[in-house]
Amino acid sequence: MLQQLIDFVHKKEIPETVKVQHNLAFKQLQLLGPIAKALDSKDFMTSEFLLLLKIKNQLIKGIGEYQGLKNSTILLKVALQVKDILIGIQEIESLSQNLEQFKLYNFVNTLLKEDLTPEDFQKLVNSKLEEILPNIDDEEEKEALKVYVQYLEQLTLNYGLGLEILILFKQYQLKDCLNLKCISSLVKSLQQENIEIFPEIFLIIKKNYSTLEQLAPIIAVSPEKNNPHTYSLILQYIALGYKHQALSAQFARLIKVLKEWKTLYLSVNNLREKYNFYEYKQPKEFSEEIVGEYIFSKYQDFPELF
């Protein structure tokens, strides 16, 4: 007892600024820990979800079989998201007969060849619409042009690559967009299959390859990769993503919290090690348990945290 008292007397004091720094980070950790616990789910450890994360990591890093497929996957996902808009644009253009309507379509086609931001593109389209509408007497034709411009606005302002997708479909014949309905149905059907078993996915994709291969120039699939195996890889990932969309969003929120938690944890842990019990007079906060360590340990090897 006497020796402990002597040791304590000879221990150094921890600077007040260090205590403040430690306690501030510690309090933030105590807030983040319960949030991480609430976001955690046993479903994150299911084989399907882990496969989704594995494929996503390989796509991002461009490794393994997914080397060079990131851009194609992104383009196809966006194309599937905007398929109804593309089909709507196609139908309005194909049914039009008024010369004034074609003036707008030609104007849009000209703009698509220019290097414009989505915002500037839409402003110019809106301005052209206002110029053309007074020259059209038929109310249905006027309404068709308004809907056409609304489609363009949705495409350009609500989707990051929407305008690029439109340009590509214009370049390689807009009728190709009808294939997107078939591919969308195919992705939905894949979600009902044993989506983890790649050979089963491959057999389904092989039967539908004639539809998929037509999209190669639009989604930037190189000639050497334009085969059923490539589309099986891409569509397996897209189908997994759709099936676990809500879970993926929850996982992303958890990872965001854990990244912040990790930064604070390293700060607190470093201070506790530097101003350790053997050399310094530690206040009780320096020995209190940090909430969230168990959750972090479950995911510390996940590439998403680095």
The residues with which 13 forms a beta bridge, in sequence order, are 281
SS3 234: helix
In a domain, 42, yes or no: yes
The answer to whether residues 199 and 273 belong to one domain is yes
The answer to whether residues 67 and 26 belong to one domain is yes
Residue 8 has pLDDT above 60, yes or no: no
> Nearest CA to 144 among 122, 161, 129?
129
The answer to whether residues 222 and 148 belong to one domain is no
Predicted pLDDT of residue 2 = 45
Q: Report pTM.
A: 0.86
Which helix H or strand E contains 280, and what residues bound it? strand 280-281
Q: What is the pLDDT of residues 47-99, one digit of tens each?
A: 999 999 999 999 999 999 999 999 999 999 999 999 999 989 988 988 877 88
The answer to whether residues 51 and 134 belong to one domain is no
In a domain, 24, yes or no: yes
In a domain, 184, yes or no: yes
In a domain, 169, yes or no: no
The residues with which 281 forms a beta bridge, in sequence order, are 13
> Region 6-11: what's the mean pLDDT?
60
Q: What is the pLDDT of residues 237-284, one digit of tens each?
A: 999 999 999 999 999 999 999 999 999 999 999 999 999 989 999 899
Q: Pick the last residue of a domain from 130, 158, 186.
A: 158
Predicted pLDDT of residue 95 = 83
Q: Pick the last residue of a domain from 158, 187, 204.
A: 158
Q: Rounded to whole angstroms, how far apart are CA atoms 306 and 303?
A: 5
Q: What is the pLDDT of residues 97-155, one digit of tens each?
A: 788 888 999 999 999 888 888 889 999 999 999 999 999 888 888 999 999 999 999 98
Number of domains in the chain: 2
Residue 294 has pLDDT above 90, yes or no: yes
The answer to whether residues 210 and 301 belong to one domain is yes
In a domain, 220, yes or no: yes
Predicted pLDDT of residue 151 = 94
The answer to whether residues 250 and 198 belong to one domain is yes
Which residues lie below 8 Å from residue 250, measured CB to CB, with a gap of 6+? 39, 41
In a domain, 2, yes or no: no
- pLDDT-wise least confident of 54-58, 158-162, 163-167, 178-182: 158-162
In a domain, 278, yes or no: yes
> Nearest CA to 265 among 287, 296, 304?
296
The answer to whether residues 219 and 268 belong to one domain is yes
In a domain, 149, yes or no: yes
Please provide residue 91's backbone torsions phi and psi, each rounded to the nearest 5 degrees.
-65, -40
Which residues span the domain enclosing 192?
Answer: 16-74+178-306
